[in-house]
Amino acid sequence: MKLFLVVLFASVLLAECYRILPKRLGGNREKLAKLKHFIHSQKFQQSSKPQSLQSNVDIYGGGFYITNITIGTPPQQFLVLLDTTSSDLLIPDITIDLPGYNLTKFNSSASSTYQFIGNTTDYAGNGMLIGQDVVKLGGIGAQQITIPKTRFLQDSTVDFKDFYFGGISGILGLAFESLATTGGAPPLVNAINQGLLSQPIFTTYLIGKKNQTSSSSDFYPGGKITYGGLDPQNCGDVIAYQTLSSASYFQFTLSGISIGNYSNTKSYQTYIDVDFAIQGPSNLINAIANELGAKYTGSVSGGYYYSIDCNAKVPPLKLKIGSTTFSIDAKYLITAVNGYCVVNISILDNGGFGPSMILGQPFAQQYCTVFDLGNKRIGFAPMKNGQGI
Ligand SMILES: *[C@@H]1O[C@H](CO)[C@@H](O)[C@H](O)[C@H]1NC(C)=O
Ligand SMILES: *[C@@H]1O[C@H](CO)[C@@H](O)[C@H](O)[C@H]1NC(C)=O
Ligand SMILES: *[C@@H]1O[C@H](CO)[C@@H](O)[C@H](O)[C@H]1NC(C)=O
Ligand SMILES: *[C@@H]1O[C@H](CO)[C@@H](O)[C@H](O)[C@H]1NC(C)=O
Ligand SMILES: *[C@@H]1O[C@H](CO)[C@@H](O)[C@H](O)[C@H]1NC(C)=O
Ligand SMILES: *[C@@H]1O[C@H](CO)[C@@H](O)[C@H](O)[C@H]1NC(C)=O
Ligand SMILES: *[C@@H]1O[C@H](CO)[C@@H](O)[C@H](O)[C@H]1NC(C)=O
């Protein structure tokens, strides 16, 4: 694909040069070569100079990472949930019927660059539209990366209503194209295919600890996402890269887990999900809780909670990835909720379907993560001194 684009681009340029040059230069070969070179570099600067962009991320209510993007001409802005486990950009369509929701809706008639691609259905079998338009990463007034001809889903159902709260109006799927349902590349992959990014990666630097003592249902600064580059401002050097075991979402192998006196050398398939706790099979999660003296306090809206004495001495949770052991410190594992404390671990009940573990916020808030779409690997870096949480 990339090669094809380069070849196409080169031949377009060449054709253009031959059209312009004979008239102006009358066959002076030296000047012709110089001018060709000039036009070539100008073209690259104007239309597709690869770049990287750092965008602000907020954390909503302590649990959800969100950022701004725009769609269309003139741009319509959406506050979207960052999701490294799906691959579609989804936004509410103007026709969505969800009274009382604080939604930004996409009005395709108001965009001069919009193209209708077709109809599709969501997981529940309800109809949605596939559109194509200019998508810009970053919000209005901030620096942006412009990605022409990007496909997205226009949601007119009520099936995604659980994602639409606090003004959040959509999901930005950042995983690989194999999971996309639009018949086209996801926004970031599309940017890579068009040569718009300096590197085929994005990097997350995520902070913001849920603290339900302070009145929540608020936006807090949640860090940065860097499209197309590393984040040397907030992150140290990458400690290690791990080859993905599946490039659909960023799935990789965890080859051991230990805490205090508990140690387990089993392998688990896992992935990073920045909106969840550390999740795993019940025997593993219960063993960790046991070791910490944490007590199971019941299930609340699908999550399993373990409470712990706020003054308990909590040893680091150690995760082996490749030949590197990553430690998660107590302050990332324990969250204060209304005067008591919970361990940010939870049982994953997926009936044996998919990876058996999720490395959630405790991991994503201690380490910067480099999601390498181009080389199908994932890398972890320490956050710089004094940063994080
Ligand atoms: C998104 O844009 C709104 C309006 O311009 C702004 O108030 C908000 O801070 C932005 N959010 C992020 C995460 O950049
Ligand atoms: C911990 O886990 C819960 C449930 O998955 C989640 O809502 C919460 O935001 C997580 N993170 C922290 C820092 O408590
Ligand atoms: C959508 O945009 C069109 C064109 O600007 C406008 O005429 C129409 O009123 C808009 N629809 C809504 C519901 O805002
Ligand atoms: C797409 O679905 C809408 C109803 O949501 C229908 O009116 C329209 O005819 C469909 N278009 C195509 C091309 O199937
Ligand atoms: C609606 O969402 C926006 C963010 O897009 C937020 O700033 C605003 O406070 C929300 N309004 C209400 C009434 O929730
Ligand atoms: C939570 O917020 C309250 C009130 O702002 C503060 O006193 C407390 O120290 C915070 N707890 C943690 C663990 O950050
Ligand atoms: C680990 O085991 C030793 C010896 O059995 C015990 O003294 C120690 O308290 C244990 N540590 C933890 C964190 O449970």
pLDDT of residue 323: 95
Domain ranges (residues) in the chain:
66-197, 231-382
Token look-up 């962009």 returns 53
Q: Give the ligand 5 atom nearest the CA of 102.
A: 1
- CB of residue 94 inside a 6 A radius of ligand 3: yes
What pLDDT score was predicted for residue 11? 34
Return the residue whose CA atom lies nearest to atom 7 of ligand 4: 119
Ligand 3 atom nearest the C-alpha of 107 is: 1
Cβ–Cβ < 8 Å for 72, 134: yes
What secondary structure letter does DSSP report for 316? P
Q: How far is the CA of 75 from the centre of ligand 3 (A)?
A: 14
Match 């994953």 to its residue by tokens.
348
Q: Tell me the per-residue pLDDT of 340-370, one tens digit each, with 9 for 90 and over.
A: 889 999 998 777 778 899 999 999 999 999 9
The reply to whether ligand 5 has any atom less than 6 angstroms from the CB of 102 is: yes
pLDDT score of 300: 65
The span from the CA of 318 to the CA of 376, in Å, is 24
pTM: 0.84
Residue 43, H or E segment: helix 29-48
Show the tokens assigned to 32: 């012709």
- Specify whether the CB–CB gap between 216 and 60 falls below 8 A: no
Q: Check if the beta carbon of residue 285 is closer than 8 Å to that of residue 296.
A: no
Mutating to test ligand 1, I would choose from 79, 102, 224 the residue with most ligand atoms within 8 A of its C-beta, which is 79
Q: What is the dihedral of CA 365, 222, 269, 189, to 10 degrees?
A: -140
pLDDT in tens, the chain (389 residues): 333 333 333 333 333 333 333 333 334 545 545 544 544 444 434 445 889 999 999 988 778 999 999 999 999 999 999 999 999 999 999 999 999 999 999 999 999 999 999 999 998 999 999 999 999 999 999 999 999 999 999 999 999 998 898 899 999 999 999 999 999 999 999 999 999 999 999 999 999 755 444 544 577 889 999 999 999 999 999 999 999 999 999 999 999 999 999 999 999 999 999 988 999 999 999 999 999 999 998 766 656 689 999 999 999 999 999 999 999 999 999 988 777 889 999 998 777 778 899 999 999 999 999 999 999 999 999 999 655 55
pLDDT of residue 197: 97
Which residue numbers are catalytic? 83, 273
Element (H, E) at 194: none
Residue 131 and residue 114 in contact, taking contact as beta carbons nearer than 8 Å: yes
Q: How far is the CA of 291 from the centre of ligand 7 (A)?
A: 9
Quote the CATH superfamily of domain 231-382. Answer: Acid Proteases (2.40.70.10)
Tell me, what's the pLDDT at 26? Answer: 37
- The β-bridge partners of 347 are 280
280 alpha carbon – ligand 6 mean position (Å): 28
**pLDDT (0 to 100) of residue 386:** 57
| Closest ligand 7 atom to Cα of 315 | 13
Alpha-carbon gap, residue 127 to 156, rounded angstroms:
7
Dihedral angle sign, alpha carbons of residues 190, 192, 194, 198: positive
pLDDT in tens, 285-318: 999 999 999 999 876 665 668 999 999 999 999 9
CA distance 257 to 267: 9
> Which atom of ligand 4 is least distant from the CA of 95?
5
- Hey, whose CA ends up nearest to atom 1 of ligand 5? 167
Strands of the 295-300 sheet, one edge to the other = 295-300, 303-308, 340-343, 334-337
The pLDDT value recorded for residue 15 is: 32
In Å, how far from its chain's centre is CA 67? 10
Centre of ligand 7 from the C-alpha of residue 261, in Å: 6
Ligand index nearest the alpha carbon of residue 139: 1
Q: Whose CA is nearest to atom 2 of ligand 2?
A: 277
Cβ(206) – ligand 2 distance below 6 Å: no
pLDDT of residue 166: 84
Domain boundaries 66-197, corresponding CATH code: 2.40.70.10
What's the confidence (pLDDT) of residue 79? Answer: 97
Same fold? 66-197, 231-382: yes
Mean pLDDT of the chain: 85
What spacing in Å lies between the alpha carbon of 339 and ligand 6's midpoint?
Answer: 9
Ligand 1 near 139 CB (within 6 A): yes
Cα–Cα distance, 93 to 106 (Å, whole number): 5
